[in-house]
Structure 1
Amino acid sequence: MIAFVGAAGLGATSSTVSHQGSKTCTTLSALNSVSLSSSFVSKSRFNGPSSRSHLLLSRAKSSVLKASAASDSQESSSPLPIPAAAASTLKVGLYIALWYAFNIVYNISNKKALNALPLAWFVSWIQLVFGLAWIFPLWIFKVRKVPKLSMENIKAILPIAIAHTVGHVATVASLGSVAVSFTHVIKSMEPFFNVIGSAIVLRSVFPTPVYVSLLPIVAGVIVASVSELSFTWLGFASAMLSNLAFTGRNIFSKLNMDKPKGENMDAVNLFAVIQIISSVILAPFALAVDGLQLKAAWTAATTGAHALTNSQLLSTLFVSGLFFQLYQEVAFLALNSVHPVTHAVANTMKRVVIIITSIFVFQNPVTLANMSGSAIAIAGVLIYSLVKNHFDAKAKAESAK
């Protein structure tokens, strides 16, 4: 990083010196032209009036010097360019801030939608559909390149999309059954499932400290669960299922890493394609499970003393779907812009911010034991991330030798 900043600074200095040198040469060339004219006039002074020649020479030199001074004044008053390092830091900070903000908006709007319309399958599906309102315009107006996929490409992505679908539905079901804060505490166990799943399916073996670092996560979740006032087995089991499903998504992604996924398939476009496939997969299940209840549930949500209007309920669903798509995309941008350790810390703090915000917004009662368990679990996630990144970097350095 220091070398990079130094190189950037050296390049900027060199560019400035080069520009100033060029400007100086231009001024000197102009003055040399005047001198040549002066020489010509001096040599010809016997052919014309001497006073007129000197006057022309004086005016020419004065014009050149004034132009040079004006150029210097204009350049000194122009704003200095932002250093590359500062611009990069600003960009990363913006990504992380948007990641947090979009995630908070999604979790709050999602919970409000589920409180009004407790149909987890339908809400999960409609969120994916409303997310398409962001995806397709970007392709239609050529803001992003349109992905080009063959049937083989779709087959390679399909297992990832299925796991993503299960994880999304399970998360929404958990958020609808228990407090938002409790769902996120349970979801902090995802690293535990990742390590176990990788060991079973990918035959990955991690250093002992990585396994040891999982213990605080498990202990914290246990303490938080037994003391959770909003605890339900549906909410707990759904959050655990989402951990299992997203672990499967990660494993399928690694297994299909070397398979071609089509043209214009960067991380953001890949996620967009997964969202589209997931919306198609989920549609028949959502209609089968919640279709018959939808009319009665919608009527109940839009009538009564504390009911929402049709437009309010629809806009809440739309906001939850749109911001689900947005926060996922910004998460990809943040991940690609920072060191894994920085991302791990930011991801851990994201859960802390969501938990605290949801407690204040929904006024969920919490006990001291619940807060302690949540803190232990979240701290465990951070410790695990730092330990794993340390050994990953060490292994990469050794393999590079």
Structure 2
Amino acid sequence: MVDREKTELYRQAVRIVFLCSIWFTISSGGNVINKLLLNDFPYPITVSMMHVLSVCMYLGPIMRMWRVPLQKPVASSYYMRMIVPLAVGKFWASVSAHVSIWKVPVSYAHTVKATMPIFTVILSRLITKEKQTTKVYFSLMPIVVGVLVATVTELSFDLIGLLSALSATITFALQNIFSKKALKETGMHHLRLLHVLGKLATLFLLPIWILMDGSRFLTEESLADQDQWFWVRILGLLVVSGFCNFAQNIVAFTVISIVSPLSYSVANATKRILVIAVSLITLKNPVTSTNVLGMFVAVLGVLAYNKAKYDQRQEEKKTTLLPTIHKNTLVHNHFQLDSQPNGPTSASGYNPAYLNSLPNYSSSSGFTGNRSTPGTTSTSGYGGSPSVMSQTRTYMDV
């Protein structure tokens, strides 16, 4: 039995290392390809169009192969109020991200993206009134310092590139918040939601692409003078770029499904460090030692933030899920027993039959009853849907 468990742990470790290696390779390679593509073909809207089209083309067969549940009916008013704005945010974040990569080095663009926790904390406080621990707020300081140092010492600084990177980061943070809300309220599978957003984003982006890039293709003399091999190379890079964007999301989702949130955060921070390092080595953009130091301080700040958030969630779970029993008081998940219809009847002041009917929350998992399906609520008041991180990370941080 022990040998079998060791073998299984070894296989799991090998699988995680293999998937992370693929994830890091695809992400680093995809960012380098995007930069090379935009250097020779400065049309970020076209690159964004290829990315959202890739989601539509590749995700359908993947969902059928994985037997993803069909989409549940969504009220038209909710669709217009929540799903449509999410789709607008998706295409805007994609366009902004590609404009930033076009205007500034990949390493600097990813350093600016490290500010996402700052905007997530601020927007969560303004929108959902979510409070953070002091430890979380302090963890944001290295991010601010690192990004400021990287910005001041960036040799290839461009204001449009900086603003585009910030715009993409803020939009990703908003998507993170509202995607979580949409998944909870609709019970929709996260891949199904990603597919819907991809189709809507393509629909919204198409007229903008026709006006901005499509018309330029017909009038730009520099493009008309290019030979066929130029177009073969550009089309090839567009296809590879779109596939890499799609593939890294799928691999990231697979990694999330087999590791803890904290392990995923460490892997994601490692990925960002590798993207910055690979871009510096491959693209050879000029940097100073102070510039590199600022980049890595910002990334390490993201890692510290993720650890602080993980600790906060663990404390919240302990406070929320575990019942507290005192001499004459029982608080069970915010419900007072004396407010129940079958009020206290025993000598101790409580109905024994009611006490015996309560579910057992003393197990290590915090729940011993039957889990409900995603998007529904169990009789004890807890849904069985996956963690928010595993549901929303697929859309963010690409």
> Structure 2 length as normaliser, TM-score?
0.74
One-letter amino acid of the structure 2 residue matched with residue 224 of structure 1: A
CA distance in 2, matches of 1:399, 1:139: 35
Residue 321 of structure 2 is aligned to residue 400 of structure 1: yes
Among 251, 265, 270, the residue aligned to 1:344: 265
Q: Which residue of 2 aligns with 1:366?
A: 287
SS of residue matched to 1:347: helix
Residue 133 of structure 1 and its aligned partner are, at CA, apart by: 3.4
Alignment of 1:277-292 (within 5 A): 277-292=200-215
Among 102, 108, 117, the residue aligned to 1:176: 102
CA distance in 1, matches of 2:243, 2:48: 12
% same residue: 28
Q: Which residue of 2 aligns with 1:221?
A: 147
Among 87, 100, 107, the residue aligned to 1:161: 87
Residue 240 of structure 1 and its aligned partner are, at CA, apart by: 0.3
Contact in 2 for aligned 1:190/1:244 (Cα 8 Å): yes
CA distance in 1, matches of 2:51, 2:180: 27
SS of residue matched to 1:231: coil
Contact in 2 for aligned 1:159/1:249 (Cα 8 Å): no
Structure-2 change in CA distance of 1:149 and 1:193 (3 Å)? same
Query: What are the superposed Cα offsets for residues 218-271 of structure 1, whole Å, 9 maximum, x if unpaired?
Result: 111011001101110111000100111011101112332332255xx2x33332
Among 270, 274, 278, the residue aligned to 2:197: 274
Q: Which residue of 2 aligns with 1:319?
A: 240
Q: Which residue of 2 aligns with 1:309?
A: 230
CA distance in 2, matches of 1:131, 1:297: 29
One-letter amino acid of the structure 2 residue matched with residue 290 of structure 1: D
Among 55, 59, 62, the residue aligned to 1:135: 59
Q: Which residue of 2 aligns with 1:64?
A: none
CA distance in 2, matches of 1:301, 1:271: 37
Contact in 1 for aligned 2:52/2:91 (Cα 8 Å): no
CA distance in 1, matches of 2:12, 2:220: 48
Contact in 2 for aligned 1:161/1:277 (Cα 8 Å): yes
Alignment of 1:176-215 (within 5 A): 176-215=102-141
CA distance in 2, matches of 1:198, 1:285: 31
Point out where structure 1 has 5 or more consecutive residues left out of the alignment: 1-7, 13-80
Contact in 1 for aligned 2:71/2:192 (Cα 8 Å): no
One-letter amino acid of the structure 2 residue matched with residue 119 of structure 1: Y
CA distance in 2, matches of 1:158, 1:297: 34
Residue 86 of structure 1 and its aligned partner are, at CA, apart by: 2.0
Query: What are the superposed Cα offsets for residues 112-166 of structure 1, whole Å, 9 maximum, x if unpaired?
Result: 11111111112211222234332234357x4544733535385443332222222
Residue 338 of structure 1 and its aligned partner are, at CA, apart by: 0.8
One-letter amino acid of the structure 1 residue matched with residue 165 of structure 2: A
Residue 388 of structure 1 and its aligned partner are, at CA, apart by: 1.4
Among 235, 238, 241, the residue aligned to 2:161: 235
One-letter amino acid of the structure 1 residue matched with residue 34 of structure 2: N
Let me know the Cα RMSD of the aligned residues: 2.4
Residue 89 of structure 1 and its aligned partner are, at CA, apart by: 1.8
Structure-2 change in CA distance of 1:317 and 1:159 (3 Å)? same
Contact in 2 for aligned 1:161/1:249 (Cα 8 Å): no
Query: What are the superposed Cα offsets for residues 176-230 of structure 1, whole Å, 9 maximum, x if unpaired?
Result: 1110000000000000000000000010010111111101101110110011011
Q: Which residue of 1 aligns with 2:377?
A: none
CA distance in 2, matches of 1:340, 1:320: 28
Q: Which deviates more from structure 2 when the two are superposed, residues 335-344 or residues 219-228?
A: 335-344
Contact in 2 for aligned 1:302/1:310 (Cα 8 Å): no
One-letter amino acid of the structure 2 residue matched with residue 386 of structure 1: K
Point out where structure 2 has 5 or more consecutive residues left out of the alignment: 323-398
Q: Which residue of 1 aligns with 2:344?
A: none
Contact in 2 for aligned 1:213/1:384 (Cα 8 Å): yes
Q: Which residue of 2 aligns with 1:254?
A: 180
Structure-2 change in CA distance of 1:273 and 1:298 (3 Å)? farther
SS of residue matched to 1:289: helix
Residue 48 of structure 2 is aligned to residue 124 of structure 1: yes
SS of residue matched to 1:133: helix
Bigger radius of gyration among the two:
1
Contact in 1 for aligned 2:63/2:191 (Cα 8 Å): no
Contact in 2 for aligned 1:217/1:381 (Cα 8 Å): yes
Residue 175 of structure 1 and its aligned partner are, at CA, apart by: 0.5
Among 19, 28, 33, the residue aligned to 1:95: 19
Q: Which deviates more from structure 2 when the two are superposed, residues 165-174 or residues 269-278?
A: 269-278
Residue 358 of structure 1 and its aligned partner are, at CA, apart by: 0.6
Structure-2 change in CA distance of 1:182 and 1:297 (3 Å)? farther
Query: What are the superposed Cα offsets for residues 77-105 of structure 1, whole Å, 9 maximum, x if unpaired?
Result: xxxx9832222222222221121111122
SS of residue matched to 1:259: helix
Contact in 1 for aligned 2:72/2:186 (Cα 8 Å): no
Residues paired across the two proteins, number = 319
Contact in 1 for aligned 2:143/2:302 (Cα 8 Å): yes
Query: What are the superposed Cα offsets for residues 261-284 of structure 1, whole Å, 9 maximum, x if unpaired?
Result: 55xx2x333323322222222111
Residue 298 of structure 1 and its aligned partner are, at CA, apart by: 8.7
Contact in 2 for aligned 1:219/1:377 (Cα 8 Å): yes
Q: Which residue of 2 aligns with 1:375?
A: 296
